[in-house]
Structure 1
């Protein structure tokens, strides 16, 4: 039997997978969140073992597991299922961190340029997530996402007014510096317009429910154009469907532009949208284009955070700069 990391075998034993049953444990490439992932193979199945980021809460993890389980019972069997540990819970704890074991998603991630059927399937999956569950939306209320973006816009506006925007003079990654400078310059130019736009929706109310919040194409799996899997609900939060719609629409945008008609029509096949929800998605997108880059300035320049995969960082920055090139003609304005 191979000599596996004892922590991994300890955690798998907590999920009732004993060392003798394990055929292989292979580390997989993680994302940018700080989580770590392994593919675990036994005789008749494969699983995904995931170590959650530091300080990830139990309540947040269980909420994601409950949302997936509920929707799987309503036919979304392409969502990952979470296996119970010997405690009866769908997580284990080791070394002060949370672990989960989920079913392995067969298929391959879509690659750019995404085919029309793949994009259609991804939008339909988002719509199904919001349509296929037992609990109705909790209430009609203001969007937490709009509140968050108003606060973020004001935080950076004050930095600009007080001449406290970070300097990139000594930033140690020259390949990223032009993008970060563009993010700061664009915010200085557009923050007044963005602030007014967000405040115009500050008191609008919407149906709020579980949102995936960060539905990236790399979290989908396909067999050709057939959707076989959707995983990673770790960013899940409470908001309107417009949050998920805006995120995915941006992710599959072409040459920096979003095909809103395609996005809306694909979702409407399963989950009807109101005109105010369509408008909210467009406003979310404009805010995301201008504010997400500032998050990267915070992480890379102010916090000095490091990421294991520099190519992922470069890809995210490149995507944002492509979107910024078209911001002047954004339909939100």
Structure 2
């Protein structure tokens, strides 16, 4: 999408000091991940920012909570957190849209499946530091916005969602033709959902601490430069949840591949071990494995629904979507 010039000018005025002469700001589309937000790299001179346009539909209270939480984490000394430095509300096509701008972070994303152990250990250590700092400020900042209801545990909520999935997810011939990556997902999903529910059940009634978490801690959201975590980005899914959910996402996606492969659990446990060393906490490996499988199952169900609702038209970054679908299919295993 392209923002109207009036909105772009308004954002530029907030980001760059006014100068009578000088180069115009350059707007380059950047990957907005797979959310409905759009992201640009906006630069002028030596300054560059990641500008995210949320559009209509975002919860302003929850967005404010995310921004305040990230700014507090950044000010506490976590230099790698891409905390917004400016944000605002604009009108576009008769609707209110929200935007935010954070410094463009250096470094290269950790590659799921192919990253060196040194890189994923840096990511796990940074995630542990991020969790520790957010837990420290939880009482002041996480005032309920975007939180899980107190009566529900993260495991119980996921168990209910997994258990309620259809046993035979529908997929039209036309949709399968446009997105052949959906076929193995639809075929493997029923058995994977049963396995995920069984894995989650022992934890569904147990107490579980909740605090602010990243919410989408995929390896590519960790930017590494010269062996150091230089950036942690893309907080659109940030919420209050168990830290195990973030660990499971990072570990499971880095392990990358068929969970039935002999090395999949070992690779996932390696990431868990790195997090334990950095945090000084012992994590239940079974709980992490349950959340990993449940995350793959729920992601699969969401993509079947999203692409089914939007028809066969390709999203703006279809290759990114296809890669994500292949990754999800491999994590579901083979029935």
Pair in the same fold by TM > 0.5: yes
Give the one of 79, 89, 92 matched to 1:92.
89
Q: Structure 1 residues 34, 63: CA separation in 2 closer, same or farther (over 3 Å shift)?
A: same
**Separation in structure 1 between the aligned mates of residue 23 and residue 152 of structure 2, nearest angstrom:** 46
- Superposed, 1:17-96 pairs within 5 Å as 17-18=17-18, 23-29=24-30, 30-84=32-86, 90-95=87-92, 96=96
| Helix, strand or coil at the partner of 1:243 | helix
Farther off after superposition, 22-31 or 279-288: 22-31
| Helix, strand or coil at the partner of 2:279 | coil
Root-mean-square deviation over aligned CA pairs: 2.8
| Helix, strand or coil at the partner of 1:37 | strand
Corresponding residue for 1:331? none
- Superposed, 1:39-188 pairs within 5 Å as 39-84=41-86, 90-95=87-92, 96-111=96-111, 113-133=114-134, 134-135=136-137, 144-156=153-165, 159-160=166-167, 165-171=169-175, 174=177, 176-177=179-180, 179-188=181-190
**Deviation readout 1:153-174 (Å, 9 max, x if unpaired):** 2332xx33xx6x3142232x52
**Separation in structure 2 between the aligned mates of residue 303 and residue 144 of structure 1, nearest angstrom:** 32
8 Å contact kept, 1:115–1:225 = no
**Deviation readout 1:220-253 (Å, 9 max, x if unpaired):** 2222432211111111011111000000112211
8 Å contact kept, 1:187–1:291 = no
TM-score between the two structures when normalised by the length of structure 2: 0.82
8 Å contact kept, 1:72–1:79 = yes
8 Å contact kept, 1:141–1:208 = no
Q: Structure 1 residues 140, 194: CA separation in 2 closer, same or farther (over 3 Å shift)?
A: same
**Separation in structure 2 between the aligned mates of residue 198 and residue 302 of structure 1, nearest angstrom:** 29
Alpha-carbon shift at residue 184 of structure 1 (Å): 2.5
**Separation in structure 2 between the aligned mates of residue 254 and residue 176 of structure 1, nearest angstrom:** 21
Q: Structure 1 residues 275, 49: CA separation in 2 closer, same or farther (over 3 Å shift)?
A: closer
Q: Does 1:289 align with 2:296?
A: yes
Corresponding residue for 1:87? none
Farther off after superposition, 16-25 or 100-109: 16-25
Q: Does 1:13 align with 2:21?
A: no
Alpha-carbon shift at residue 290 of structure 1 (Å): 2.6
Alpha-carbon shift at residue 303 of structure 1 (Å): 4.7
Q: Structure 1 residues 288, 42: CA separation in 2 closer, same or farther (over 3 Å shift)?
A: same
8 Å contact kept, 1:211–1:238 = yes
Farther off after superposition, 120-129 or 213-222: 213-222
Corresponding residue for 2:269? 261
Alpha-carbon shift at residue 119 of structure 1 (Å): 0.5
**Separation in structure 2 between the aligned mates of residue 31 and residue 275 of structure 1, nearest angstrom:** 29
Q: Structure 1 residues 17, 203: CA separation in 2 closer, same or farther (over 3 Å shift)?
A: farther
**Separation in structure 1 between the aligned mates of residue 76 and residue 214 of structure 2, nearest angstrom:** 17
Corresponding residue for 2:261? none
| Helix, strand or coil at the partner of 1:252 | helix
8 Å contact kept, 2:124–2:271 = yes
How many residues are aligned here?
311
Q: Structure 1 residues 291, 40: CA separation in 2 closer, same or farther (over 3 Å shift)?
A: closer
Q: Structure 1 residues 123, 143: CA separation in 2 closer, same or farther (over 3 Å shift)?
A: farther
Q: Please, which runs of 5 or more residues in structure 1 have no aligned partner? A: 85-89, 329-333
